[in-house]
Homo-oligomer: A and B are copies of this chain.
């Protein structure tokens, strides 16, 4: 650890200790619940300051909770045997199949070949490529960084656009485009971003609302498609590339596809498994086969057909890291919910809001706006969700917002708020890192796009949700 990390660790511990020994605690909160809150708060501070990787922070958090007997060890590690965690682990492994087999690249090149005629249509091609693989790729970083970044990076070079003087020719535009597209596809499927299942779990634990894979996808369909149509076009207008026509992209795609040759056995298997998993996820209410079992089945098939070796599975560090931070956070957040802490605090906030004479709609919109724009303070969607989702959701419901509407709205915005900054989500450092886009440009576009998405999802989205009877 360097000096900054040591300082951040000290701050994290200090906050926990101060809260723990705080002499005044809210009325109606039991001391054990308050101690749990102190550990939870310190863990979240640790997520934000990151003196260590968040998986390590989370693990230390549950260790302290178990050691101080605030929760039992059974509760502390219960998150690691949680169905949602294992859905995510399975999806990580399915995504590995996409990358390993080359199917992800092939899909992208096929789409570029088909519709990548101008900078604008190429933008849509990249958007569509990201969308197609999103349902089975919960690591938005793997999607943007592992599959699409190598393609758009080499495309920029081929077009003579590099960081520096030539950046606005093409590279700056396409890097922003992928980031904006990725932020939207994240919001469209429960399995498209690692933090989404955390929302689902927290919604169930905090307010008892159940969201299935299918209901999430259904709810996101209309606002998601509208965002995916509007945002690339808007970006093309406000941040246009100098190169408009795009013969190069098509040629590159044709060349690369030629090099790849016909689909391999491995690609075919991944394609079948992927389509099968989508079909089973979408129909799980009919078949009564839960989303986690579908994920396990997909992984089993990939292993049985040797698409993934067992070593591939064991080496999938992204999965284990997610298991650590998310499993530990689920344990803590779940215990905090069952202790009644969140409900008590939410009721207090709710009473205050109602005393101020605010309608539920006003209060709900205000909560959403605070939630979204506070993402300037977070370097990770998941940290943000872990810190604020359950509490904001509980407050919104306590003032009268229909529970499912609130759960879905907070869930959706938890994704596209990543647009705001150049550190707001996993893909950001990759797409920002080389310097195609300046920080000022990034923040300006980020603010505009987040606001546009907010209007689309809350405006059209909530109407759509009303139409399909979600509230």
Contacts and interface: CB of A to CB of B under 8 A. Distances in A.
Interface stretch (A98-106, A152-160, A289-297, A432-440): A289-297
Contact of A300 (B63, B74, B289): B63
Given A60-B300, A78-B81, A79-B81, 20 more contacts: A9-B304, A52-B310, A55-B310, A56-B313, A59-B300, A66-B293, A67-B296, A67-B297, A73-B83, A73-B293, A76-B293, A77-B81, A77-B82, A77-B83, A77-B86, A81-B82, A314-B324, A315-B315, A315-B317, A320-B320
A80 interface: yes
Contacts of A292: 66, 73, 77
Most chain B CB within a 10 A radius of its CB, from A59, A79, A310: A310
Contacts of A78: 81
Nearest to A292: B73
A83 to B, nearest CB: 6
Contact of A317 (B77, B304, B311): B311
A62 interface: yes
Question: What are the 10 tightest A-B residue pairs by CB atom distance, in nearest-first order?
Answer: A81-B81, A314-B317, A53-B310, A63-B296, A80-B81, A63-B300, A60-B300, A66-B293, A56-B310, A314-B320
Main SS class of interface, A: helix
Contacts of A297: 63, 67
A131 interface: no
A334 B385 CA distance: 35
A52 B303 contact: yes
Interface string A303-319: 11010001101110100
Q: Number of copies of this chain in the oligomer?
A: 2
B86 A296 contact: no
Interface in A1-56: 1, 9, 52-53, 55-56
A409 B51 CA distance: 47
Most chain B CB within a 10 A radius of its CB, from A60, A76, A293: A293
A404 B23 CA distance: 48
B81 A306 contact: no
B56 A1 contact: no
Interface in A106-140: none
Nearest to A298: B63
A82 B76 CA distance: 10
A314 B55 contact: yes
A451 to B, nearest CB: 36
A309 B59 CA distance: 13
A155 to B, nearest CB: 32
A166 B1 CA distance: 50
A76 to B, nearest CB: 8
A321 interface: yes
Nearest to A72: B290
Given A77-B81, A77-B86, A56 B293 contact: no
A299 interface: yes
A74 B78 CA distance: 11
B321 A314 contact: yes
